[in-house]
A and B are shown apart, each in its own frame.
Chain A
Amino acid sequence: MNTSINSEVQAKVVLSAEDLWKSYDEGTIEVLKGVSLEARAGETVALCGPSGCGKSTLLHLFGGLDDPDKGQVEVNGIPVGRQRNILRLLRHEVGFVFQLHNLIADLTLEENCMIPAVAAGTDRRMAQERLHQLTDRTGLSNRLHHRIQKLSGGERQRTALCRALMNSPKILLADEPTGSLDEKNSAMVFAFLMELVAVEGVTLLMATHDRSLAERCDRLVEMHDGRVYGSQDVR
């Protein structure tokens, strides 16, 4: 998938987790139990495992949305923590796609996609150009001014994908991005996801139940009960 990216860039570790521990409810629910993981630039990594095994939590820790109890998370070689500028991380370095599209229903497709650009203070003209680039690639350019309620499930998820990539982050954290879609739409959204990732040279870390989709990534990481049980190159 990412053979066009030169080997020097591929070699660079952009996501790194080392002995991560995370629990909730004052330690009564342990979600991550010493997870270590790395992802290299341009690599597509699927996190597979049953519900509650800690996939989403791991993504949240990489995105700076939560803090680990123990261990270290690094994005682009810089630790994610209180010292780190989380805003910069969320605005420019990582993009999130969730299982539920998490779009704002009362806004149009265009307005939803512009939210990250507004947050980052991106020049409006440049943001518009970027939006058109992304919607052209995802087949949404005729839906720009449609409200979210008027879009199909697949279109909504593609919109979420465009929004996540609006500020051209080099890392995409996708949490069950096709989990709420039927088989046909799931395949379509995943195809768009992989195409964008390839074209933009983005590192993808994707949590999924769907092994058939996971096997289309560069690497598949098995998680179970808060631990990583194996990692295999599948391509």
Chain B
Amino acid sequence: MIIDALQLLFTPWNMLFITLGVGAGILVGALPGLTATMAIALLVPFTFSMNAVHSLVLLGGIYSGAIYGGSFSAILINTPGTPSAIATTFDGYAMARKGESYAAIITATIASVIGGLIGVFFLIFLAPPLSRAALKFGPPEFFWLTVFGLTIIATLASKSILKGLIGGAFGLLLSVIGIAPIEGSVRYSFGSISMQNGIALIPAMIGLFCIPEVIGMIAKKDTHYNVIPYKREKKLIRRIFFRLMKKPFLLIRSAVIGTVVGIIPGAGGNIAGMVAYNEAVRVSKFPKRFGTGIIDGVAASEASNNAEVSGSLIPMLTLGIPGAPPAAVLLGALLLQGLRPGPYLFTSHGEITYSFLFSLILANILILPLGLISGKAMSKLITGIPVTILAPFVFLLSVIGSFAINNNMADVYIMLIFGIIGFIGRKAGFSAGPIVLGLILGSICEQGLVQSILMGRAKGSAIGVFFQRPISIVMIILTVVSAFWPLIVKIKNNWRHKVEKG
């Protein structure tokens, strides 16, 4: 079956479709506001008349390419092209500010390829057991997962942990706007029908990251965007490749985190990237260098979010439960082709399924040449455009990106309001990262909390529901360790100093 699948895959048409998919995905991902979900959803109707393999390899290529492409704008203009690239901004943009934009793109490219390939390995060999484990995630586990996620704020808050926590709490509060998931009260909609759906993540994210950056470009006296322009260096790709190869644990750990987070339905690439970044900081011997523009930060985020692509496909292919929104649209494409997810997908339609899985390997490998070529061109372009054109152009893209999500002007206004909040917040020392994290995790956390309380009422013991389930206990331990990690490191260092002094 594997040989049949390979024969089915290696045709000129399939190669063309994978290349087109990855290329188009990179382009879509690089434009802020245009997501992988949107690109796949737009193409699904066109793939209806194609044969199943052509259709799936094209859409798989777009998914992989778009998640990687999000790193371009994250690095070059401090605006994540897709939510998955939020954590890439932390060090990627700092590298660009030092004139190392192409080095950051090379790092993102190599890490994405390695992360993506590790993810596909898990998808091909470990899909069924991992899916079964994901199904054990109930409301209490989701609640503790989000509490664990919130401990990342200490890492994201660049200057003050207290301000980071305030930003996180502000994001949590904003996440409750709209109709409540349980009991259905309409909260803080101020009479607006658009607000009943809550605050859309992408316009808010574009506003918080992009608008302050545009204002920052204008406010500074530089004629071009980066203070230090793009530098041409010989053997840069080779140098970064060998530097990354010396950090195998960073790449593997981030890819495993990405795959695991991808498997859990509801937790997407944005959470994967931030968790992997946080773990990279926590494990590093030089945690204070993160955020100043080092390749480790970019590699952690990018290896993780590209591994998440395959992770999100694991429950989709084996159980029919998509792990992330783009996987949900891919599920639609699968059903359109008459392929029903489940164990039979790997037996009755094994050739098509394995062709699709192997195509993801090719898509990830293709990211390398396509990403490096387009990344170099983009680096030169962005740093070469005068600020007087670049600033309003980025704003134009922000308007387009915000509008195109739901074809709704309300999202453009949300982007503008969050832009003003982000601008004032940045001036007052509040970073955008914790606010976005609160906004992402808030709704998952609330649903987990309220449903767990209801489960507790039904079982007669809320404590049992929250504190006695095995995965919950693991999540609680991880939360405590993560929250107190800075203290643990301090105690460890003090102890080491004492030992060295004798």
A and B form one complex:
no
- A interface residue numbers (CB < 8 A to B): none
Which residues of B are in contact with A by a Cβ distance under 8 Å? none
